[in-house]
Structure 1
Amino acid sequence: MMKFFRFLMISAIIVSMMNSCKKEDENPWNIEIKNPVSKVEVTDISKEFYDLNVPLEEFKQKYPWFQGTVPDEDFAKRRADAAEAKIYREAIAKIDAAKLNKELTDLFSHIKFYYPQFKEPKVFLYSSALQGIMEPVFYQPEQQMLFIDVSGFMGENNPTYSGLENYFQKSMNPTNILPKTSQTLAEFFVVKNYDHQKFIDQLVYEGKLMILQDAFLPDFPDYLKINYTQKQYEWAKANEVNIWNYFVENNLVFSDDTRLIDRFIKPGPFSKFYTEIDNESSPQIGIFEGWQICRKFFQENPKTKLQDFLKMNATEIFNQSNYKPKN
């Protein structure tokens, strides 16, 4: 019986070397930003929250939306919680504020290049004390606010994350802040059509989000854009042909089987091909494949405007991509 996958480390290394040797002008998303946004100022809410020298009333007046429906008594107890304050101090110590300011300014400038109507949000750092680490970035476009939970980026294998599945921790490093922020903002620009249940629709939807990652973060490593480790990304690249052949040979591309989302899109330790290779495979491989389909579309249709591309339906993008990966 022919083996389905091989972990081609040599091929992966060659692919990685070839990618690193590409000239910058070969990246279609490298554009000149003539009118960058003003320098982004990041406000650390928790710095004042855990500073008991700041009166509660003063804090509430400054951030009236932060307390929500929590009673004053409970709010005061949280401020004085030594364990919570310790988590915050450890988390914020891992953040390079100057670097983050620069990266966010560059990110917002790229978004504004493609979407001139985009208004850069005010950025707030805070610590949820591990309560919100599964979704550590959230965006409120109406209020023009962006929130980043620093307790979600304390580094994989951090003792604070004890009990949390390792595959979640892989993307909980400080280097993951910018791509996760970009992804959160990208979701605002891509409309998801819930009427379509075919696998190709989900693949291309995820691919559109990844294309926005390319556009918004043109100089960022691909593996970080997709929340992979470098080894996971190299596995996906080395096995791209085998992955696609598996989808085609098993009639999955246009399938309406909703279980495919759990197998190939949702977070997990690996993808579920139901073969002996599963434990070695990269997770969420459907997102990777959707990305490659959309990248191939732009290779075939380089003059297509980003906004027009995002309005196209999945089948149209797939057909025009001529996506047929080969060894």
Structure 2
Amino acid sequence: MKFFRYLLFSSAFLFGMNSCKKDPKELWKVEIKNPVEKADVADISKEFYDGAVTLATFTQKYPWFQGTVPDEDFAVRRADPEEAAIYKEAISKIDVQKLSSELGTLFSHIMYHFPEFKAPKVYLYSSALQGIMEPIFYQSEENLLFIDVTGFMGNNNPNYKGLEQYFQVSMNPNNILPKVSETFAKYFVQPSVDQQKFIDQLIYEGKLMTLQDAFLPNEPNYLKISYTPAQYEWAAENEANIWNFFVENNLVFSDDVRLKERFIKPGPFSKFYTEIDNDSSPRVGIYTGWQICKKFYQENPDTKLPDFLKMNAQQIFNQSNYKPKN
């Protein structure tokens, strides 16, 4: 792996030894006494494209699905062979029974940490590729979760022609569960209006990833952060170098709004503005915030998640003693 060749690695502040108070891999493995065996999953589009199901029957069963679309236009869409073909291909890639079981496990872990949470009714549907950029939607008022199956047809699927490759990395069937988990993490961690500094953004993203750890303790880390295995490996091997770059360039407590675009928003790579850029993993700010929060929990393993989420960025950073070693 290629490293930041020009950085200095001698600073004791940057590369002090991490304390090992508790194995972070075991921290979130908890005993669920009353698990949700399977989520309640319904495939709306299976009925939508079924000619044997009348429009009146469908709209009566799912009155919110049609929205403001006139009956005539709705009927045309139901009979569109191209739309139906896209749905059939998308749903064929998903093991619905397996997904139902995995979602049940996910909901069980959420309820363990947030007892007030209730397992939502889950609806699979096809947007005919129109909603693939935001394929997961949670309607909290009615506790309904919607999953657009056309958003998970697989990397390099012909239907995704023209879509940037870095988006397609997380558009595989095995990305459904982490993206659902991320959706609920964002429900529990509302962004603060006080997030003016880069460290605030890092810790916000770190909180989201910490919830991913708690909700999906057995899921591979690279899937939680929407990386390829190679991208995760690069970020892990360069963790100290990334942090050193942030510190050396006075970025940690900077209020430069461009840092979010460079290190947090989706892209083909992170923007250090060095020769390393094209080889780097994207969104390394999210990875860094995640590692700070992991270190916080190494130091403070008994902190309850609700209490952790209430803490501000400065508190978490200070109590983490984050000093990644090379």
Shorter-normalised TM-score: what interval?
A: over 0.9
Closer/same/farther in 2, CA of residues 106 and 275 from structure 1, 3 Å limit = same
CA–CA distance in 2 between the matches of 1:84 and 1:96? 21
Matched, 1:178 2:142: no
CA–CA distance in 2 between the matches of 1:170 and 1:107? 22
SS in 1 for 2:187: coil
CA–CA distance in 2 between the matches of 1:292 and 1:121? 30
- Specify every segment of 5 or more residues in structure 1 that has no aligned partner in the other structure, as ranges: 7-22
Matched, 1:214 2:221: no
Post-superposition offset of 1:320: 0.5
For 1:94, the equivalent position in structure 2 comes to 93
CA–CA distance in 2 between the matches of 1:4 and 1:214? 27
For 1:137, the equivalent position in structure 2 comes to 136
For 2:278, the equivalent position in structure 1 comes to 279
Asked if structure 1 preserves the Cα contact closer than 8 Å seen for 2:24 and 2:298, the reply is: no
CA–CA distance in 2 between the matches of 1:216 and 1:48? 31
Asked if structure 1 preserves the Cα contact closer than 8 Å seen for 2:24 and 2:294, the reply is: no
Post-superposition offset of 1:35: 1.1
Matched, 1:194 2:196: no
Post-superposition offset of 1:98: 1.4
Post-superposition offset of 1:37: 2.3
For 2:232, the equivalent position in structure 1 comes to 233
Closer/same/farther in 2, CA of residues 61 and 24 from structure 1, 3 Å limit = farther
For 1:148, the equivalent position in structure 2 comes to 147
Taking structure 2 as the reference length, what is the TM-score of the superposition? 0.93
Q: Percent identity?
A: 73
CA–CA distance in 1 between the matches of 2:254 and 2:65? 44
Instruction: Give the residue type in structure 2 aligned to 1:109.
Output: S
For 2:66, the equivalent position in structure 1 comes to 67
Asked if structure 1 preserves the Cα contact closer than 8 Å seen for 2:24 and 2:297, the reply is: no
CA–CA distance in 2 between the matches of 1:75 and 1:261? 40
Post-superposition offset of 1:281: 0.4
Asked if structure 2 preserves the Cα contact closer than 8 Å seen for 1:42 and 1:125, the reply is: yes
- Specify every segment of 5 or more residues in structure 2 that has no aligned partner in the other structure, as ranges: 6-21
CA–CA distance in 2 between the matches of 1:98 and 1:257? 46
Closer/same/farther in 2, CA of residues 4 and 235 from structure 1, 3 Å limit = closer
For 2:157, the equivalent position in structure 1 comes to 158
* Alpha-carbon displacement from aligned partner over 1:100-137 (angstroms, at most 9, x marks no partner): 01100000000000111101100000000110000100
Asked if structure 2 preserves the Cα contact closer than 8 Å seen for 1:24 and 1:30, the reply is: no
SS in 2 for 1:148: strand
Post-superposition offset of 1:24: 8.9
CA–CA distance in 2 between the matches of 1:179 and 1:155? 15
Instruction: Give the residue type in structure 1 aligned to 2:278.
Output: N
For 1:316, the equivalent position in structure 2 comes to 315
Instruction: Give the residue type in structure 2 aligned to 1:95.
Output: I
Instruction: Give the residue type in structure 2 aligned to 1:293.
Output: I
* Alpha-carbon displacement from aligned partner over 1:150-195 (angstroms, at most 9, x marks no partner): 0000000011100000000011000000000000011110121122
Dislocated runs of 4+, deviation >6 Å = none
For 1:110, the equivalent position in structure 2 comes to 109
SS in 2 for 1:104: helix
SS in 2 for 1:120: coil
SS in 1 for 2:88: helix
For 1:13, the equivalent position in structure 2 comes to none
Instruction: Give the residue type in structure 2 aligned to 1:246.
Output: F
Asked if structure 2 preserves the Cα contact closer than 8 Å seen for 1:270 and 1:284, the reply is: yes
| Number of positions where the alignment pairs a residue of Structure 1 with one of Structure 2 | 309
For 2:253, the equivalent position in structure 1 comes to 254
For 2:118, the equivalent position in structure 1 comes to 119
Post-superposition offset of 1:38: 4.9
CA–CA distance in 1 between the matches of 2:168 and 2:25? 33
Post-superposition offset of 1:41: 2.1
CA–CA distance in 1 between the matches of 2:236 and 2:24? 22
Asked if structure 1 preserves the Cα contact closer than 8 Å seen for 2:23 and 2:298, the reply is: no
Asked if structure 1 preserves the Cα contact closer than 8 Å seen for 2:181 and 2:215, the reply is: yes
Post-superposition offset of 1:63: 0.2
Deviates more, 1:146-155 or 1:73-82: 73-82
Q: CA RMSD in A?
A: 1.4
SS in 2 for 1:85: helix
Taking structure 1 as the reference length, what is the TM-score of the superposition? 0.92
CA–CA distance in 2 between the matches of 1:61 and 1:233? 46
Larger RCO: 1 or 2 (CA < 8 Å, sep 6+): 2
SS in 1 for 2:132: coil
Matched, 1:77 2:76: yes
